[in-house]
A = this chain, B = another copy of it.
């Protein structure tokens, strides 16, 4: 059975303007690979309702799971929750379960549970909450879309809440071999290897170090014995250079 598929939607002007370097994509990619879920596509869009709605609908139709990051805080530009309700034709308002979590949290810390903070309890009717042990304000799952915060520590905590609830596939295993030859010398044998091992993903990442050319060859697949076999075959092609 093929692995489940996923896509990610990163929401935020700060990524597209170059102010912030996104960290969540790389983190999620690694977690999904370990869980046997194939990440097929990532999109980054700005804090713009039509862009968010269009993107989440398109991604939701194409894969088993969509993960979003960003835009669920208390400020005026945090519009992700409302966009999700719009995308899936759901009603949205401050929801009692989320308001209770947040109200208790602010009461305990002596801070005002004001109108801005109540925005963080706006959850679509049909959604289920995602636990946020870091800063309480929950994420949520609507249809096959898991809506999470953009702050990296909170994003990570929410991924840890969601991922164990999803059926994974065979984790992607990988091995690498460094070949001390220019990528153009490696490319021919690598194409032959790819033809012999069509079930594996074989990538080549060239480098130049102190004027010498080389390439790191990464071989990935769900079957460890096949990955071992391909690495062995490759090392026999370049006995002097690996």
Against B, the Cβ 8 Å flags (1 = close, 0 = not) of A1-42 are: 000000000000111111111100110011111000001111
- Residues from chain B with Cβ under 8 Å of A119 in the complex: 187
Q: State the Cβ distance, A190 to closest chain B Cβ, in Å.
A: 6
> Cα distance A188–B206 when bound, in Å?
51
> Cα distance A40–B17 when bound, in Å?
9
> Cα distance A111–B185 when bound, in Å?
9
State whether the Cβ of A191 lies closer than 8 Å to any Cβ in chain B: yes
A73 (CB) vs chain B CBs: closest residue: B183
> Cα distance A174–B41 when bound, in Å?
31
Against B, the Cβ 8 Å flags (1 = close, 0 = not) of A153-164 are: 000000000000
Q: State the Cβ distance, A172 to closest chain B Cβ, in Å.
A: 6
Q: State the Cβ distance, A89 to closest chain B Cβ, in Å.
A: 24
Against B, the Cβ 8 Å flags (1 = close, 0 = not) of A182-225 are: 11111110110010000001111110100000000010100000
A42 (CB) vs chain B CBs: closest residue: B44
Contact A44 B25 (CB under 8 A): yes
A29 (CB) vs chain B CBs: closest residue: B18
Against B, the Cβ 8 Å flags (1 = close, 0 = not) of A39-53 are: 111111111000100
Q: Which of A16, A183, A202, A205 has the most CB of B within 10 A?
A: A16
Contact A46 B40 (CB under 8 A): yes
Binds B, one of A74-82, A125-133, A139-147, A230-238: A74-82
Contact A194 B40 (CB under 8 A): no
Contact B44 A191 (CB under 8 A): no
State whether the Cβ of A177 lies closer than 8 Å to any Cβ in chain B: no
A137 (CB) vs chain B CBs: closest residue: B184
Which of B41, B42, B76 touches A194 (beta carbons < 8 Å)?
B76
Contact B51 A39 (CB under 8 A): no
> Cα distance A26–B23 when bound, in Å?
11
Known: A74-B183, A75-B183. 11 other contacts (CB 8 A): A14-B218, A16-B39, A17-B172, A18-B32, A19-B203, A41-B55, A75-B190, A76-B191, A114-B184, A116-B191, A119-B187
